[in-house]
Copies of this chain bind each other. A is one copy, B any other.
Amino acid sequence: MSRAAIIGGGVIGGGWAARFLLNGWDVAVFDPDPQAERKIGEVLANARRALPALYDRALPPEGRLTFHADLAEAVAGASWVQESIPEVLSLKHQILPAIAAAAGPDAVIGSSTSGFKPSELNAGGTNAIVAHPFNPVYLLPLVELVGDAAACARAADILRGIGMFPLTVRKEIDAHIADRLLEAVWREALWLVRDGIATTGEIDEAIRMGFGIRWAQMGLFETYRIAGGEAGMRHFMAQFGPALSWPWTKLMDVPEFNEELVELIASQSDAQSGHLSIRELERLRDDNLVGMMRALRRSDSGAGGVLRAHEAALPEQGEQDGLPVTAARQVPVTWTDYNGHMNETHYLEAASLATDRLLEMIGAGADYVASGRSFFTVETHIRYLDEIHAGDRLTVTTQVLGAQGKKLHLFHRLHRGDALAATVETLLLHTDLTTRRTSPPAPEVAGAMADWAARHAGMPAEGAGRFTGQRA
B140 touches A184 (CB 8 A): no
B295 touches A288 (CB 8 A): yes
A265 touches B196 (CB 8 A): no
Chain B residues near A91: list those with CB within 8 A: none
Shortest beta-carbon distance from A331 to chain B in Å = 14
A142 touches B209 (CB 8 A): yes
A281 touches B469 (CB 8 A): no
A-B pairs with beta carbons under 8 Å apart, 15 shown:
A169-B198, A170-B196, A181-B203, A189-B221, A208-B215, A208-B218, A213-B302, A221-B268, A230-B278, A237-B266, A242-B257, A344-B380, A380-B380, A381-B468, A387-B436
Chain B residues near A171: list those with CB within 8 A: 195-197
Complex: how many Å from CA A379 to CA B273? 42
- Determine the main DSSP class of A at the interface with B: helix
B374 touches A378 (CB 8 A): no
A265 touches B169 (CB 8 A): no
B229 touches A11 (CB 8 A): yes
Complex: how many Å from CA A75 to CA B244? 34
Shortest beta-carbon distance from A364 to chain B in Å = 11
Q: How large is the interface on A (under 10, 10 to 19, 20 to 34, 35 or more residues)?
A: 35 or more
- Judged by a CB distance under 8 angstroms, whether A66 is at the interface is no
In the complex this chain forms, how many copies of it are found?
2
Q: Given A180-B248, A246-B115 in contact, is the A140-B213 Cβ separation under 8 Å?
A: yes
Complex: how many Å from CA A270 to CA B140? 27
Chain B residues near A254: list those with CB within 8 A: 244-245, 252
Chain B residues near A214: list those with CB within 8 A: 134, 140, 285, 289
Chain B residues near A216: list those with CB within 8 A: 208, 212-213, 215-216, 288, 292
A212 touches B215 (CB 8 A): yes
Chain B residues near A205: list those with CB within 8 A: 142, 165, 167, 219, 302
- Judged by a CB distance under 8 angstroms, whether A399 is at the interface is no
Complex: how many Å from CA A466 to CA B219? 51
Interface set, chain A 224-258, CB cutoff 8 A to B = 225-230, 232-234, 237-249, 251-255, 257
B210 touches A134 (CB 8 A): yes
Q: Given A262-B238, A278-B226 in contact, is the A296-B285 Cβ separation under 8 Å?
A: no
Chain B residues near A196: list those with CB within 8 A: 170-171
- Judged by a CB distance under 8 angstroms, whether A101 is at the interface is no
Chain B residues near A251: list those with CB within 8 A: 184, 187, 249, 251-252
Complex: how many Å from CA A234 to CA B165? 31
Shortest beta-carbon distance from A200 to chain B in Å = 4
- Judged by a CB distance under 8 angstroms, whether A178 is at the interface is yes
Interface set, chain A 428-470, CB cutoff 8 A to B = 431, 433, 436, 464-470
* 9 A-B pairs with least C-beta separation: A204-B219, A291-B295, A142-B210, A212-B215, A142-B209, A216-B216, A217-B288, A251-B251, A200-B221
B306 touches A209 (CB 8 A): yes
Within 8 Å by CB of A352, from B184, B211, B334, B343, lies B343
